[in-house]
Each structure stands twice: as C-alpha cells, then as structure tokens.
Structure 1
Amino acid sequence: MLGSGRPFLVEIQNARQIPSEAIVKEIEARINGLENKLVRVKNLKVVGSEGRTMMREGESEKQKQYAALVWISHPLDDKDLKTISLLKDVQIMQKTPIRSTS
C-alpha cells in the first residue's frame, strides 16, 4: 500500500440491524485474510449519515486540476484554435499513471 490508504464508505441498504463492533472487526479480518492481498482495510467502523457528509465534503476539496503540454503533428489554423478554446470542463478518462522516482 502506498501511504496510509484512502477512506471509503460502503452503504448497506435495507439493513435489518446495525452491525456490532465485533461483527465489523470480523469483516475487517476476513477482508485482510483474503489470499490475493490486493485489498487491505484498517480501522473499519460503522458511521452514520455524518460520515457520508464528511466524505462528500472531502470529495469537493480534493478535486484536482491539471495542465497539459500538447504537441500537434500539423500547424493549427484559426478554426482549430477556436474549437480548442471552446472546450471547458473536459473529463479525461485515463489509467492511473506509473509514477517515476526522479
């Protein structure tokens, strides 16, 4: 794991009862005991609606903006520049980059 991990929420819909602390600890142990070891959890606990609110607030604070340097294989004309300048709030779909240590 890189760093201390990231917080997450799991919503249990239509729950008949709130799981006890012992059950939550058992769930944590079972997740951490999985063979693949790709997922680990720590400090698993039940939270109320305030936990969800805090996560949502954290999402808005953690949004990032990026700048990019782009090389184009041909000269841009005025039409190209206008088209590019009209782009706003573009969502870029990408795989997580591999970080270098340099």
Structure 2
Amino acid sequence: MLLHLVGRYNKYSRELPQTPWFVEGERKQSTSVHELLSAILNNTVKAQDLKFSSSGREDVDVRCLGVGRPFVIEFINPRHTLLTQTQVAVLQSAVNESTHLVKLRHLQIVDKKDVKYLKEGEEEKTKTYCALCLSTQGYNTAALDKLNELSEVSVEQKTPLRVLHRRPLATRTRIVHTITAVPIDLHYFKLYLTTQAGTYIKEFKHGDLGRTNPNLRQVIGVDLDIVALDVENVALDWPPKCSE
C-alpha cells in the first residue's frame, strides 16, 4: 500500500541540502529538507519506508523562495491513510512550526496517477532566479546593457565538474529566456534570469572551464562570482492550491 503526500516547499537556509548529503561516507550537514518534512509527517502516517522526490533541486547554498518547489513524498506500507484535508493541514502547520529553515504549503493527498504531473513538462517548464553577482575588478554599465539585450539564448552545457561524481557526462542544450541586470554599486549587481528547467546557473555565469557556452564571463568580458543565488519561481502549475 502507498500514500502520496504532495505540496510545495520553501527553503530559507544556505546551509541546508535537499536530501541527506554525504561525501566519501562523511555527512556534511546535520539535516535536510527531506528529513525536516518527512520526520513529522511520518509520525502520523507511520510508514515502513518513504521516498522523497521533487521538481528539480537546488544546491545546498541556494534558497528556494516564491511559492516554493513542488514535491512528493511516497509513504510505503503506511499504517494511517484515511486522513482528511483538515488533518493534513494540521500536519502542514506542525512542520512549519517546527523549524524556520523550511515552510510547507498546499500539502495534500493525491492518487498515484497524479504524481506524474511532477515530472511532466520537465524540459518545457521554466524557472526564475535572482543572483547577487560580484566583479572584483569592477564593471561598467555598458557591460550590463549587453546582458539586458540578451534573450532566448541557446546554451550548450556539459555536465558540470562539481556534479560529475553523481551524474553522467553529457552535453545538453538549455534556453535562457530572459536576463535582467540591475546595478548596485561599482562591483555588485543583481541578475534576474528566467531559464529552461535544468539550466546550470552557476556554470552559465563562469563557464565551468569552457564546459558551458556561451557564458556571462564571455559576454561582458570580466570575471564574475555569484555571491548568493535564489530560486524565485518554479513554473509548474501543480499541485492544486489549498487554502492556507
């Protein structure tokens, strides 16, 4: 028997992985989004095991803001399955009151057949980001004007070096739909991007030793670092909204 709880989550910490994070057998952070959500939920559901999946994932140092990222938790052999939406809303509140690191919204039970919507449109859906960028050598406004003129940029990305240990080597084409650059001072600016799902934003910034082309370093001709990155929207119209 299976029970599927779905919803959207926000992540407010830059030191919180989506799932338990191990490097060479050593745990790097004490908890994760997966664990913060599932621990309280499973206290009521009491399943033998569970699986967590989501519409994409953010890096440990990236916040997920806006209306959050869609996810599903599949509870395997649960003892309790006949939960009303009111009871599910109480569970959502319990999670939200237990931590300041994550927040749940639109938590609900769905049929297994509806879980397919989490992955449908994986190639077509868009995501919006805000990146705080730093150029230690400085930049001029003409450089930002070049960025603001870009749209529908086709980007070739080899699997980034930083994730090669867990993902196969491949070259993928992704589209950066819009770019808006907003100056802050002589060294800092904000970058708002809307991209095709699956675009590696950090590599689009620095090029990943030539593995991402084109990249922003090429376009404006200065070295860049992303100081802070936020996911501001995951444009997937699922799950249905619930009253909060």
Distance 2:105 2:74 in 1: 17
Q: Does 1:99 align with 2:239?
A: no
2:181 aligned with 1:42 = no
Three-state SS of the structure 2 residue aligned to 1:31 is helix
* Equivalenced residues, count: 76
The root-mean-square deviation of aligned C-alpha atoms, in Å, is 3.0
User: Which of these two proteins has the greater Rg computed from alpha carbons?
Assistant: 1
How far apart, CA to CA, are the structure 1 residues paired with 2:109 and 2:67? 19
More helix by share: 1
User: Which residue of 2 is the match for residue 22 of structure 1?
Assistant: 86
> In 2 relative to 1, CA 43–70 (structure 1 residues): closer, same or farther, beyond 3 Å?
same
**What does 1:44-83 correspond to in 2, within 5 Å?**
44-61=107-124, 62-64=197-199, 67=204, 68=207, 70=209
Unpaired stretches in structure 2, ≥5 consecutive residues: 1-9, 11-64, 125-196, 212-226, 231-244
Match of 1:12 in 2: 75
Distance in 2, matches of 1:29 and 1:10, equals 17
Q: TM-score under structure 2 normalisation?
A: 0.27
Runs of 4+ that moved beyond 4 A: none
Deviation, 1:60, is 4.2
Relative to the length of structure 1, the TM-score reads 0.57
| Identical aligned residues as a percent | 25
- The aligned amino acid for 2:198 is Q
- Cα distance in 2 for partners of 1:47, 1:7 equals 13
Structure 1: any 5+ residue segments left out of the alignment?
A: 72-83, 85-96
